A and B are shown apart, each in its own frame.
Chain A
Amino acid sequence: MSSVNTSPDTDGVGAPVKRKPELPLWEIFIRGQHGMSHRHVGSLHAADAEMAMNNARDVYTRRNEGVSIWAVKSDQIVASSPSDKEPLFEPANSKVYRHPTFFDIPEEVGHM
């Protein structure tokens, strides 16, 4: 075993140490252009809203990706449970008439 401790999770003799508490997690949404909706692009850590904005700018918008940023604390998001997948989504699969696929959208309409 190497004498150099490269793992942050052990104290050098193999005993686990408590990890440093991380800053709260935020979910970042970017609107790519006017008229489009915000899209989830990923998450990051930040101490508060101001820092979340700064970090989002650095991590996600450096290549001219957006016109607007939303940051939402991850623990404020209500998510569906993976075990609810069947009751939530499957009933629609067999009902082809629920999808507007029987007419063509004219090109002039553009993005829908």
Chain B
Amino acid sequence: MVSKHTASSGLFEFLLQMGDNCLVLAHRNSQWCGHGPALEEDIAISNISLDLIGQTQLWLELAGEVEGAGRSADDLAYLRDAFDFRNLLLLERPNEDFGLTLMRQFLFDAWHLPMLKGLTQSSNKRIAEIAEKSVKEVTYHLERSTDLIIRLGDGSAESHRRMQSSLDELWSYTGEMLESDDLDPALISECVVPAGDKVAEAWRQHVTAALKLATLIKPESDFVRRGGKNGIHSEHLGFVLAEMQFLQRAYPGAVW
């Protein structure tokens, strides 16, 4: 199917980005369920997964409506292939250790919150409503991930080393989040989505302040790995989808 680049297809793409970001990060976090370093952390990260899955449902449901091809949120989550996913490459990075998982969460939360705050002012009422609901949850996600990266960055020599190497490893994936893409101009001029540079500026301020408190050094490199927003993913997303979509692929239409 050739999609025309109309306002509604741009909106569809944007809603997929929001939904897929939540879905892929929720799946990554859910892989910690039962394996967290402490009971409290295990429950907290599973809770964040559940919040994000709830948000995924809202974004993808709206995406399906905007597309108008009769696809439900479940269809979009379970029956698309990797090249149709629009999530950031950052979020499909493997969990590795809990330090890397927390750093990934922190770098995303610091973008997610200002983005959602901007979306609460959207001229599209449905989008504003979803953002309003999500802001409450994500405010807490950012509070928690910021608190933990500061504690661990400014903690023992070993925790500091792990947080710094997590930051170094993930840094090149943050640029994709902060860049505007070609579907933005129309959506921004119609006040559907907030201007990307405002969100990026809020991200920089929060991240810079938190890293300073965490005694972590912001990497110098401005090399950016990009592709996720255009459906060009790393091999890791394939494994995520294989696990996540197996049941619906093997038993189409299976329900509880």
Contacts and interface: CB of A to CB of B under 8 A. Distances in A.
Interface stretch (B37-45, B177-185, B226-234, B247-255): B37-45
Interface in B35-84: 38-40, 43-44, 47
Interface in B13-40: 38-40
Contacts, number: 27
Interface stretch (B139-147, B190-198, B203-211, B235-243): B139-147
A50 B43 CA distance: 17
Interface of B: 38-40, 43-44, 47, 140, 143-144, 147, 151
Contacts of B147: 50-51, 54
A54 B38 CA distance: 14
Nearest to A47: B151
Contacts of B39: 44-45, 59
Interface residues of A, number: 13
A54 to B, nearest CB: 6
B40 A46 contact: yes
A57 interface: yes
Contacts of B40: 44-46, 55, 58-59
A51 B145 CA distance: 11
A95 interface: no
Nearest to B140: A57
Describe B's contact surface by its main secondary structure: helix
A44 B44 CA distance: 12
A111 interface: no
Contacts of A44: 39-40
Interface string A39-68: 000001111001100110111001000000
Interface of A: 23, 44-47, 50-51, 54-55, 57-59, 62
A55 B140 CA distance: 12
A58 B38 contact: no
Contacts of A55: 40, 44
A14 B41 CA distance: 29
Nearest to B38: A45
A62 B47 contact: yes
Contacts of B151: 47, 51
25 contacts: A23-B38, A44-B39, A44-B40, A45-B38, A45-B39, A46-B40, A47-B151, A50-B147, A51-B147, A51-B151, A54-B44, A54-B143, A54-B144, A54-B147, A55-B40, A55-B44, A57-B140, A58-B40, A58-B44, A58-B47, A59-B39, A59-B40, A59-B43, A59-B44, A62-B47
